Amino acid sequence: MRNILLIFRKDFLVEWRSKQIFPTMFVFSLLLLLVFNVAFEFRSDVDSRAVSAVIWITFIFSGLLALGRSFSLEKENNAFAFLLLTPVSRSYIYLGKLLSNTVMVLLSELFILPLFLLFFLFDADGASLSFTGTILPFLGVMVLGTIGFVSLGTFFSSMALNTKLRDMMLPLLVFPLIIPVVITSVGICSSILEGRPPDYYAFSLQVLVSFDIIFILLCSILFEYLIEDSGD
């Protein structure tokens, strides 16, 4: 646990100083937001399903882009290789990195979210935003969904960078795998925006939590094999 926190602190510090994830995500999200607005012809009466879909597509696209950039930092100078020389368990390296990436991506999302609400929701018919009824559950789903796609995003960003296709490979690897996150997160968010009771989306929530647990476990086991260098 101490080692995970050490790696988290280092990754967070490096990330904070180099500022890769936040600006990338923020600018890219703004652009997507603009594109979606144009596509919806600047109407604000878009239904909650579409709004949820737009939010999650933006989060996932911009998040993966930022993760790809962030890992290329680690490759610089081969500092990562030196970390592999230390007797720290490879699973901890993954978990520390996952923690740091999740926090950075979540922080970026927190800045983007209000803009979405401003552009899409405030004028929408019957959208009543209460703190405990809407915002709080919404943030909860945001955390769970983000953990879901960042867990695989962190894992595969270290793989993609070592392939010939590099950055191109990351979305290719991750998108088909995180379909369950997309289905459940979008579903739950639109239920919340429609003001449904938690019972309505309890099953989706279970699936989302299971996804997070399964893939964090699987990735932390497989990470050792992923970074194990066979030399070619």
Query: CA–CA separation, 120 vs 76, rounded Å?
Result: 40
Q: Which stretch binds other proteins (CB under 8 A): 54-62, 100-108, 121-129, 218-226?
A: 218-226
Closest CA to 109 of 74, 138, 72, 152: 138
C-beta separation of 150 from 171 below 8 A: no
Q: How far apart are CA 109 and CA 185, in angstroms?
A: 14
Tokens 């793989």, located at residue: 159
Q: State yes or no: residue 204 binds other proteins (CB under 8 A).
A: yes
Cβ proximity to other proteins, 29 vs 158, nearer residue? 158
Number of residues that bind other proteins (CB under 8 A): 54
Residue 199 in the binding site for other proteins (CB under 8 A): no
Binding mask 95-134 for other proteins (x = CB under 8 A): ----------------------------------------
Note whether 42 binds other proteins by CB under 8 A.
Answer: no
For the bound state, the minimum distance from the C-beta of residue 150 to other proteins, rounded and expressed in Å, comes to 15
Say if residues 14 and 104 touch (Cβ distance below 8 Å): no
Task: Considering the complex, state which of residue 114 and residue 231 has its C-beta at the smaller distance from other proteins.
Answer: 231
**What 3-state DSSP class applies to 47?**
coil
Q: Which stretch binds other proteins (CB under 8 A): 46-54, 104-112, 122-130, 221-229?
A: 221-229
Contact pattern for other proteins over residues 158 through 187, marking x by CB under 8 A? -x--xxxx---x--xx--xx-xx--xx--x
Indicate the length of the chain as a whole number: 232
218: which 2 tokens? 């699987």
CB 6 within 8 A of CB 12: no
Four-residue CA torsion sign, 108, 109, 112, 114: negative
Q: Between the CA of residue 4 and those of 96, 137, 140, what are the distances in Å?
A: 5, 28, 23
* 231 part of the interface to other proteins, by CB under 8 A: yes
Shortest gap between Cβ of 88 and other proteins (angstroms)? Answer: 4
Q: Phi/psi zone of residue 43: left (φ > 0), alpha (ψ -120 to 50 degrees), beta?
A: beta
Give contact residues for other proteins (rule: CB under 8 A).
3, 6, 10, 13-14, 17-18, 73, 76-79, 81-89, 152, 159, 162-165, 169, 172-173, 176-177, 179-180, 183-184, 187, 203-204, 207, 210-211, 214-215, 218-219, 222, 225-226, 228-232
